[in-house]
Amino acid sequence: MERSGDNRTVPAEHSSPPPPNSSGRRPHRHERQRSRKKRKVISSETETRIQIQTLRPSSYTHRRTNSYVQKQGNSRKKPRKPQCQRKWTYSTHDVSNYNDRFVIVSYNILGVENATKHPELYRGVSPKYLDWGHRKKLLCKEVKDYQASILCFQEVDHFNDLKEILGSDGFRGLHKARSGETRDGCAIFWKTEQFTLLHEESIEFQRFGLRNNVAQFCVLKMNQDLPSTGVTARPPCPSTSRNFLVGNIHVLYNPKRGDIKLGQMRIFLEKAYELSQEWGCIPVVITGDLNSLPQSAMYQFLASSKLHIQQYDRRHVSGQIFPSEYAESQSRRNRITRPLMNRWTNEEIMLATGSRLSVLRHHLKLCSAYAGVPGTPEVRDKIGEPLTTSYHCLFTGTVDYIWHTSDLVPVRVLETLPICSLKKTGGLPCKKWGSDHLAVACELAFADEGD
């Protein structure tokens, strides 16, 4: 039996006679008319209510959802911008007259063996992002996007893979493997259509009693009228040709062996100066992973060309023992309290300076490319260096640099990423970046054009 209440959501059928009222008699005509009007109003209101509940919310939700998705999409894109895109910052000086330019990149690409042996550094990193098959393509694509013409890599233990990929983009490269059991080393690549290799040398620091690290040098000539040929046997006569020296080094990591670190850098800079003089006082570019912070004694040695080593604790020469934000104040305190506590032995002084003197010097007048182009506090420290070029579970800080002599000027530098953006990755390497370091890059020009 159908109940009368079942038809309240649908217009009732008005052709059937009205039921009797509570007194048992049938309603009069005017009562029936009022009843029909009442039911019609109720039915109309019900239909309207149903329409509001079934149509308006869906269309409203649709509009709101689109707006919400759009807003959410924008909010998701905004924090990803610094993570997915690195920006170039240009010099504040007029560089319009500088025509002979080149872009150079220094990049510790994370050796495959090192990534395998130290899983504690990559606890939050997906295994697929540590896979070399994935990383090698990502790394090569990245440096290609920078339109680099010279690449200086550290921790290279699969040189042939890089040679094959970069070779298809017009690069030629040289590799110097570390001595000892460790396989990784340094590599320099250059665009053959832009440069000719005139000379190359390398250093094995083991020969000086300074561990198994290596360094390498290339004398390059910008191709103008000179065709690409082999290596020149003897230095040419000084001329106006665009020759310059590129040096690439990976300094010892061990934070406690400041004597070894300084010794490696001393020999490296001595050889760079010697080659520059042999080839007609040519400009010099120094790149690499120095395993030293900007607030360190090592950095001051490069910047000032002089260092009194006994004013510093040997174990803190690189600044790695402390977080970067405390390194400067801690270093000042060490100069006062540490000399009597941790004297340098004669052997350590010899390793650091190459003599019995405790004063260390080099003859190159070096400038930091990044310090020469003003940046923002979001990505730079007070000196002007990036806040960080390396990020993993046990370290966040800057250890990678590009230095140059004053006959070259920085036109622009590639900013690194804000630390807050790096933390959102969960650790490097990640989907976007193929190493636990960030590449440092700059465009340099020959200074005499602007004079």
pLDDT of residue 224: 81
pLDDT at 449 > cutoff 60: yes
- Comparing 384 with 8, the larger pLDDT belongs to 384
Q: Are 327 and 296 in contact (CB under 8 A)?
A: yes
- Comparing 56 with 161, the larger pLDDT belongs to 161
Structure confidence at residue 84 as a pLDDT band (50, 70, 90):
low
List pLDDT tens digits, range 410-443: 999 999 999 999 999 989 999 999 999 999 999 9
In three-state secondary structure terms, 153 is strand
Q: Could you tell me the residue ranges of all domains in the chain? A: 97-450
Q: Are 255 and 318 in contact (CB under 8 A)?
A: yes
* Mean pLDDT, range 104-111, rounded to an integer: 98
Q: Which two tokens stand for residue 393?
A: 């579970």
CATH of 97-450, one of 3.40.605.10, 3.60.10.10, 3.30.2310.20, 3.30.565.10: 3.60.10.10
- What percentage of the chain carries pLDDT values higher than 70? 73
pLDDT of residue 279: 98
pLDDT at 114 > cutoff 70: yes
Q: What is the distance between the alpha carbons of residues 255 and 2, in angstroms, rounded to a whole number?
A: 89
Q: What is the distance between the alpha carbons of residues 162 and 316, in angstroms, rounded to a whole number?
A: 35
pLDDT at 45 > cutoff 70: no
Structure confidence at residue 51 as a pLDDT band (50, 70, 90):
very low
pLDDT at 61 > cutoff 70: no
Q: Cα–Cα distances in Å, from 81 out to 105, 183, 295, 422, 423?
A: 22, 36, 29, 12, 14
User: What are the residues whose beta carbons fall under 8 Å from the beta carbon of 345, sequence distance 6 or more?
Assistant: none
pLDDT at 211 > cutoff 80: yes
* Mean pLDDT, range 58-77, rounded to an integer: 42
Across the chain, what does the average pLDDT equal? 83
Q: What is the distance between the alpha carbons of residues 401 and 326, in angstroms, rounded to a whole number?
A: 20
List pLDDT tens digits, range 311-327: 999 999 999 975 444 44
Q: What is the distance between the alpha carbons of residues 360 and 190, in angstroms, rounded to a whole number?
A: 33
- What percentage of the chain carries pLDDT values higher than 90? 69
Structure confidence at residue 66 as a pLDDT band (50, 70, 90):
very low
Query: What's the burial of 221, exposed, middle or buried (CB within 10 Å: 0-12/13-18/19+)?
Result: buried
pLDDT of residue 343: 85
* Mean pLDDT, range 78-92, rounded to an integer: 73
List pLDDT tens digits, range 299-313: 999 999 999 999 999
Q: What is the distance between the alpha carbons of residues 432 and 417, in angstroms, rounded to a whole number?
A: 12
Q: Which residues pair with 286 in a beta bridge?
A: 247, 403
Among 84-93, 105-114, 156-165, 361-370, whose mean pLDDT is lowest? 84-93
pLDDT of residue 207: 97
pTM of the model: 0.77
